[in-house]
A and B are shown apart, each in its own frame.
Chain A
Amino acid sequence: MNILPILPTYSEYLSDESQLAGNAQSISFPADEDELRETYLAMKEERTPLTIQGGRTGIVGGAVPQSGHVINLTGMNRIVRFEQTDEEHGLLTVQPGITLFELEREIRRLKVPKPLFWPPDPTEPTATVGGIVSCGSKGCSSYLYGETVDHVEAVRWLSSDGEYITVQRGEQVRVGTDETELLELLVGSEGIFGPLSEITLRLAVRPQEIWGICFFFEGKQDALQFADDVNHKELTTTGADLALLEYIDRRSIDLVESNKEVMTKISALPDISKKAAAMIYMEIHGWQEEAVEEIAESLLELGSEHRSDPDQAWALSGESEVEKIRDFRHAVPESVNLFIQQAHQKEPGITKIATDMSLSHANLTDVVSSYEQDIRKHNLDACIFGHAGDLHLHVNLLPHSQEQYELGRELVDKWAQETSEGEGCLVSEHGAGKLRRDMFLTFGRHNHIRVLKQFKQEQDPLWLWNQGDVLLQESESSDEGKEE
């Protein structure tokens, strides 16, 4: 156990990509379960709050400590074991600190009859699997592969009495009067019930054929209606599926293009025509090239119908080539983070303000129009991008002043209320952390919040883990959340 005081050289561990500034007295980098437990028990003895950290790539301040001790799990980054369950599936158990980049490398090294992969694909390769599972981050391909929890078989969890508990899929737990699946409670809980020391991932056979296609539209409405049409048509054939449907607006494109010089991965991409008002990025995953081409042909026809020139549409095949467009897509939130970083330097009160809300009963055209109307009304700068397939857009406000920042926060609260009233999901994959906690507690579903609170009270009665994230200890009043 090596408890280190927070010296200036560790100052970066007091923040994350959200730019929220934190405070802590000590930090540790446990290398294994024993060190993690020893550290926890020592802190528990002194009733010192603990904040769990992974790659600190989060944007809601979940890994930013308020006080006490920081447990950084990036040293627990090993593969524990692999079990091939059948020719096309496997279970890979990893420690939580392994990054997506390292995970991908290790999966490629597995000696298996058919190449495997872990379907969740959040765009930041330095994000850790522990962080991804804790937030339920799912990435762009969730359009085809679904929620992150569906790709987790089991976890090993450090309970409040310092014992490790292995939680398998299907295990039920009673929380108050509710019966719920424990694994589903832990995945997406943002570490408020304690850290995970091992995570068993469900690997699936890797698609042999991957195509990435970008359509550019001079009219934004054409882009939105195209995405809605693609969504409604459910383009699937035997042997291939549409795996990803992303909307990127012009402001997002401009942000990326302005950062091209400092982002080496995208510097070799051609500039996007100034005439493009928006772009739609799609991926087709499949096992037969003909099936992939069949979907691509359908997209070509549909794109032409919506006035996108197929002669200008990008089409790349193979994972390495497709990665070029993925790098562009990833450069969008990265560019927003750079913008916020610079704004934060001028106005320290500015942190990231973005939505992570998804809707179920609407179409993209209406959703984007509604967001844009509000943004215009408040005279704010913002970019909109995200998962068009499940109406899960990341509206990122770009404040140029503290006043605009406050206006932006009010706007996000308004959207949260509307999303809640429309039976949408407020926190889809980034977590609530500290920055979206109040919004979550105000507009989130009452039953869900009640279950989280009860389980927190049972499992972490001293409220030591991740204080300030998701829940507030003192706000036990029953008027929180939305009644169901």
Chain B
Amino acid sequence: MLRIAVCIKQVPAYDEGTMDPETGLLQRGGLEAVMNPYDLPAVESALQLRERYGGTVDVFTMGPEKAREVIIQAYSMGVDNGYLLADQAFAGADVLATSYTLYQGINAAGQYDLIICGRQTTDGDTAQVGGALARWQDIPHANWITSIHEVGKDYLIVSQAFEHERARIKLPFPCLIAVEREICTPRMPTLTLRLQAKKKSITHLRVSDLADSHKEHYGQKGSPTQVERIYPAKTPGKETVVQTDPGLAVEEILNLVRPRDGETHG
């Protein structure tokens, strides 16, 4: 019976339409928040392991009170327990403080055989929290996991993707893996679970609930780095699919990309 913890985060569902056109700064006010897309395969991987080997899947998120929404989403996918690390003291955390808070929160909840993180978040983009959390836990970890092959009594065999090759590695429990999006297709929340989700309890953890209750170790005070500016990359508006013979396709694509007099490009 595996005990699995999954770290998830609520992030803004932003695109270029939610940026200040003059300053280029992200306009967070009124932005809808969603579960970090990289965390969805992490939750799905955990659920698949539970379905195959039994056990429990718990999720942990650090954020404001509103972040409980992602726990409700995780419940709608089938997660067993949710832990919300919400405290004013946690605000403004960098990688170090975030990973420390998660470490404290996970330990407050109990012992886990496996911790799964998404590759990165779409707002921080560091891809370092998983590794840092493993360091605090003092357990082995592996990033860029593209598949889970086998789970034994006290080990896990996974594929790890490097730039040009893949490694098949064995990790002893307890351990942490950070999964790639390609590892699996996340399931959709179901209606039955979605309706039950709001009735399920969420454990709210504050600084005072943690083994280390020194506020200066968390949030902005516990963060050696400061973020100056965050902005999303510009994305193209319309995708055009050209499906024809290669010779004809080249000409069609050239016609699409060539600038033309008088034409406005958005």
Cβ of A457 within 8 Å of any chain B Cβ, yes or no, is no
Q: Is A300 within 8 A of B191, CB to CB?
A: yes
Cβ of B202 within 8 Å of any chain A Cβ, yes or no, is no
Residue of A nearest to B12 (CB): A320
Q: Is B263 within 8 A of A270, CB to CB?
A: no
In the bound complex, residues from chain A placing their C-beta under 8 Å from that of B255 are 8-9, 11-12
B-contact 0/1 string along A296-323, CB 8 Å cutoff? 1101100100000011111111111100
Knowing A9-B260, A11-B255, say if A313 contacts B192 (CB, 8 Å).
yes
Q: Is A314 within 8 A of B238, CB to CB?
A: no
Knowing A341-B243, A345-B244, say if A300 contacts B262 (CB, 8 Å).
no
In the bound complex, residues from chain B placing their C-beta under 8 Å from that of A296 are 191, 194-195
In the bound complex, residues from chain B placing their C-beta under 8 Å from that of A126 are 237-238
Q: Is A311 within 8 A of B262, CB to CB?
A: no
Residue of B nearest to A105 (CB): B17
In this complex, the interface size class of chain B, counting residues with CB under 8 Å from chain A, is: 35 or more
Residue of B nearest to A11 (CB): B255
In the bound complex, residues from chain A placing their C-beta under 8 Å from that of B263 are 29, 72, 74-75
Among the 9-residue stretches A232-240, A261-269, A385-393, A414-422, the one with 4 or more Cβ atoms under 8 Å from chain B is A261-269
Knowing A311-B190, A315-B191, say if A102 contacts B266 (CB, 8 Å).
yes
Measured between alpha carbons, how far is A15 from B89 in the docked complex, in Å? 59
Knowing A9-B258, A320-B34, say if A314 contacts B188 (CB, 8 Å).
yes
Knowing A12-B255, A318-B32, A341-B243, say if A74 contacts B264 (CB, 8 Å).
yes
A-contact 0/1 string along B129-151, CB 8 Å cutoff? 00000000000000000000000
Q: At the interface, is chain B mostly helix, strand, loop or mixed?
A: loop
In the bound complex, residues from chain A placing their C-beta under 8 Å from that of B32 are 318-320
| Residue from B37, B181, B188, B258 within 8 A of A270 (CB atoms) | B188
Q: Is B264 within 8 A of A28, CB to CB?
A: no
Cβ of A361 within 8 Å of any chain B Cβ, yes or no, is no
Cβ of A342 within 8 Å of any chain B Cβ, yes or no, is yes
Measured between alpha carbons, how far is A10 from B21 in the docked complex, in Å? 31
Measured between alpha carbons, how far is A289 from B195 in the docked complex, in Å? 11
Cβ of A150 within 8 Å of any chain B Cβ, yes or no, is no
Q: Is A310 within 8 A of B192, CB to CB?
A: yes
Q: Is B188 within 8 A of A269, CB to CB?
A: yes
Name the interface residues of B61-110: CB closer than 8 Å to any CB of A.
69, 73, 76
- Residue among A77, A109, A271 with max Cβ neighbours from chain B (10 Å): A109
In the bound complex, residues from chain B placing their C-beta under 8 Å from that of A4 are 261-262
Measured between alpha carbons, how far is A167 from B195 in the docked complex, in Å? 48
| Residue from A213, A321, A324 within 8 A of B191 (CB atoms) | A213
Cβ of B239 within 8 Å of any chain A Cβ, yes or no, is yes
Q: Is B189 within 8 A of A314, CB to CB?
A: yes
Q: Is A29 within 8 A of B198, CB to CB?
A: no
In the bound complex, residues from chain A placing their C-beta under 8 Å from that of B73 are 317, 321
Q: Is A270 within 8 A of B186, CB to CB?
A: yes
CB distance from B51 to the nearest CB of A (A): 14
Cβ of B208 within 8 Å of any chain A Cβ, yes or no, is no
Measured between alpha carbons, how far is A72 from B32 in the docked complex, in Å? 35
Cβ of A99 within 8 Å of any chain B Cβ, yes or no, is yes
Cβ of B16 within 8 Å of any chain A Cβ, yes or no, is yes
In the bound complex, residues from chain B placing their C-beta under 8 Å from that of A268 are 37, 181, 185-186
Cβ of A362 within 8 Å of any chain B Cβ, yes or no, is no
CB distance from A130 to the nearest CB of B (A): 14
Name the interface residues of A13-49: CB closer than 8 Å to any CB of B.
27-29, 31
Cβ of A161 within 8 Å of any chain B Cβ, yes or no, is no
Residue of B nearest to A57 (CB): B238
CB distance from A373 to the nearest CB of B (A): 33
Q: Is B186 within 8 A of A77, CB to CB?
A: no
Residue of B nearest to A314 (CB): B188
Cβ of A293 within 8 Å of any chain B Cβ, yes or no, is yes
Residue of B nearest to A308 (CB): B191
Measured between alpha carbons, how far is A269 from B184 in the docked complex, in Å? 10
CB distance from A99 to the nearest CB of B (A): 7
In the bound complex, residues from chain A placing their C-beta under 8 Å from that of B34 are 318, 320-321
In the bound complex, residues from chain B placing their C-beta under 8 Å from that of A315 are 76, 188-191, 193-195
Measured between alpha carbons, how far is A274 from B239 in the docked complex, in Å? 28
Measured between alpha carbons, how far is A262 from B188 in the docked complex, in Å? 21
- Residue among B30, B185, B188, B190 with max Cβ neighbours from chain A (10 Å): B188
Name the interface residues of B228-266: CB closer than 8 Å to any CB of A.
237-239, 241, 243-244, 255-256, 258, 260-264, 266
Residue of A nearest to B248 (CB): A345
List 12 A-B residue pairs with CB atoms under 8 Å apart, sorted by A's residue number: A2-B261, A4-B261, A29-B264, A108-B30, A109-B21, A268-B186, A293-B198, A303-B191, A318-B13, A320-B13, A321-B34, A345-B244
Binding site for B on A (CB under 8 A): 2, 4, 8-12, 27-29, 31, 72, 74-75, 77, 97, 99, 101-102, 104-105, 108-109, 115, 125-126, 213-214, 262-264, 268-271, 289, 293, 296-297, 299-300, 303, 310-321, 324, 338, 341-342, 345
7 tightest Cβ-Cβ pairs between the two chains A and B: A105-B17, A320-B13, A315-B191, A315-B194, A314-B188, A313-B191, A75-B264
